[in-house]
Amino acid sequence: RKEVEQDPGPFNVPEGATVAFNCTYSNSASQSFFWYRQDCRKEPKLLMSVYSSGNEDGRFTAQLNRASQYISLLIRDSKLSDSATYLCVVNRIGFKTIFGAGTRLFVKA
């Protein structure tokens, strides 16, 4: 079983839709959690950190459930430019970082 698991998708949604991604992690000692975005043939870039209390950045909302060991990302009012792969990232102690394999999102006009 992978340490960080994501639904690979793809998710195909129309513009304006709300879409949610989930990610589960198996190591209960994991400390920090992030969502990264990766465009085709580009490097990953930090989208947002995930805080225990949940946090929002514009149209994006991230949630963490430590008891169930899952992280979620909600995108509201999807734009064409949101089309990308979204990577769930978990940090173990000591800066070791585990990336999920990513969830592909296609937003269509």
Partner 1 sequence: DVKVTQSSRYLVKRTGEKVFLECVQDMDHENMFWYRQDPGLGLRLIYFSYDVKMKEKGDIPEGYSVSREKKERFSLILESASTNQTSMYLCASTPGIGGRRGYEQYFGPGTRLTVT
- Written as one string, the DSSP assignment of 16-40 is T--EEEEEEE--TT--EEEEEEE-T
The phi and psi torsions of 94 (rounded to 5 degrees) equal: 80, 30
Asked if 35 is part of the footprint of partner 1 (rule: CB under 8 A), the reply reads no
Which of helix, strand or coil describes residue 94? Answer: helix
**Which of 9, 44, 72, 76: binder of partner 1 (CB under 8 A)?**
44
Interacting span for partner 1 (CB under 8 A) from 15-23, 41-49, 62-70, 72-80: 41-49
Binding site for partner 1 (CB under 8 A): 8, 32, 34, 36, 42-46, 49, 87, 89, 91, 94-102
